[in-house]
Amino acid sequence: MQLLTGLLLAATAVQAHYTFPRLVVNGKSEEKDWSATRMTKNAQSKQGVESATSGDIRCYTSQTAANVATVPAGSTIHYISTQQINHPGPTQYYLAKVPAGSSAKTFDGSGAVWFKIATTMPTVDNNKQLVWPGQNAYTTTNTTIPASTPNGEYLLRVEQIALHMASQPNKAQFYIACSQIEITGGGNGTPGPLVALPGAYKTNDPGILVNLYSMQPNEYKPPGPAVWSG
């Protein structure tokens, strides 16, 4: 019986982790995994990134993707998750414009190029636990590409930060994916503030090193820059 319980716990632990291999734009998914979304290093293991300052915090990429997804400005987007997103924590989206002379298929996302377009805040459930929008779903939360985002090629980055063990340093788990996209029908906004990844996050940021079990929902401070909403 103890062995059986151990096996069940082990299986649960594996299923508790996830990757985001398909971008969905206005309800239409990439036709297969990792076609415009860059394969991540945890494609098999499903383990999150635990160091907020490592190179993996940018895109966790193991290889670039073959395609570039067309994303009209104003689109609603989300990602399909391989497993249930069961851990509490915010979902954030960033964009990085591909510099002149580079391409979405090759740009590595280096430099102060990233701006945040969405984050999520918690509420309290019946058990007085903090819960986030989309928690326990099989897709990441929906967000809208700001209508005034300028046309061009971008990297789109999603992260869901699992905070259930984040009261210890380097125990938040970042679940990340980046997609190669081209924004069309956009506007003439000036996105910002622009940050570098790694760089924008510190190990002891209050949204990363945090005890969820001793705070009010409105006290949570998502890491990174302010949201640019267009």
Distance CA 20, CA 34 (A): 9
* Residue 161 Cβ vs Cu ion, minimum distance, rounded to whole Å: 12
Nearer to Cu ion, 89 or 191 (CB): 89
As a residue count, the chain comes to 230
> Is residue 7 classed as helix, strand or coil in its secondary structure?
helix
CB 46 within 8 A of CB 20: no
1-30 binders of Cu ion (CB under 5 A):
16
Nearer to Cu ion, 16 or 215 (CB): 16
Hey, which residues between 98 and 127 contact Cu ion (CB under 5 A)?
A: none
By CB under 5 A, the count of residues binding Cu ion is 1
Lay out the sheet containing 143-144: strands in order across: 28-29, 22-25, 76-80, 143-144
C-alpha–C-alpha distance, residues 160 and 42, integer Å = 14
Least distance from Cu ion to the Cβ atom of residue 179, Å = 23
Least distance CB 1 / Cu ion (angstroms): 25
The nearest distance, CB 88 to Cu ion, in angstroms, is: 11
Nearer to Cu ion, 45 or 229 (CB): 45
Q: How far is Cα 189 from Cα 207, in angstroms, rounded to an integer?
A: 28
Site for Cu ion contains 86 (CB under 5 A)? no
What is the residue type of 209? Answer: L
List contacts with Cu ion (CB under 5 A). 16
